[in-house]
Amino acid sequence: MQKEEQLLERRLTELSRVACYRERITYSDFLNLNELNILHSLPKDTLFTKYLLFGGYESAERQLVAFLPDALSLRAGGEDRNKLFQDAISVLRITPLHGKFSEELSHRDYLGAILNLGIERSKIGDVVMDKNQAYVFTSPRMKDFLLDNLGRIRHTAVMVQEEELHGFSYSPRFEEIRGTVASVRLDSLLSLAFSSSRSKLSPLIEAGKVFVNGKLVSSNGYQPKEGDRVSVRGMGKFQYVEAVGTTKKGRISVLVHKYV
């Protein structure tokens, strides 16, 4: 096991211990897919408490962990996650100051401008695009710094405003893809979602680049369940929505939503 993984395991365990013995919620930084997989892979007896994950909106890729003391974990299942995480996640909306003269900015442009300010990647969650603006999820400690210092992205002057996390809603845009597969296997769904052959995409699974609901999956024959979200590092993500029937030749008709 690499040193970075060991340090993360210790950090997560310590946060869980503090939540248990001090009877208060503790939060991690934003975890990427590999780090979320480490969390999911921890032996059950390693942590002292239960936990919840959230990244600011329902299908967020980068997420925080909230370790819950026993008194809260009993009722946390019905809690509004926006409310539960409102002290740990801030939402900032970034818009061009002069829309008429602004450049067409990409996700890389927004993220690059933020990181160029010297902010650690773990303090920033997803950066999501919404037409001519973007939302960034960050730690409250970074909020004021970004409000004061993020004024330009490439050659475009921008305005940064805080949004209330409680009640905030964001639905990523997706492309609806329908097709047929011999069986609902991970490699078959990858082939359908990314319009490529199974032989070209299977090595991504074997190389540890494919995650289902944040958990690393290394088997081509893994069978996702309806509603599962599949993330492929460097390529994107999609949701396996449902199997909608069987063709006369015995193939299964499926529906996936590929996020764009």
β-pair type (64-68, 124-130)? unpaired
Distance in angstroms (rounded) separating the CA atoms of residues 162 and 135:
10
pLDDT in tens, 162-172: 999 988 888 88
Supply the mean pLDDT for the chain.
92
**Whether residue 178 has pLDDT greater than 90:** yes
Quote the pLDDT of residue 77. 53
| CA–CA gap between residue 172 and residue 251 (Å, rounded) | 30
In terms of Cα–Cα distance, which of 230, 255, 235 is closest to 245?
255
Distance separating alpha carbons of residues 14 and 34, to the nearest angstrom: 19
Alpha helical stretches, state H, 23-166: 33-41, 70-73, 81-84, 107-115, 140-149
Spell out the domains of the chain, with CATH numbers in brackets. Answer: 3-78 (3.30.1370), 90-163 (3.30.70.330), 174-259 (3.10.290.10)
| pLDDT tens-digit readout, 232-250 | 998 999 999 999 999 999 9
Confidence check: pLDDT of 76 > 70: no
Share of the chain above pLDDT 70, in %: 97
Give residue 93's pLDDT.
97
pLDDT at residue 200, as a whole number: 92
pLDDT surpassing 60 at residue 79? no
- The pLDDT tens digits for 109-120 are 999 999 999 999
Of 16-20, 28-32, 98-102, 113-117, give the lowest mean pLDDT range.
98-102
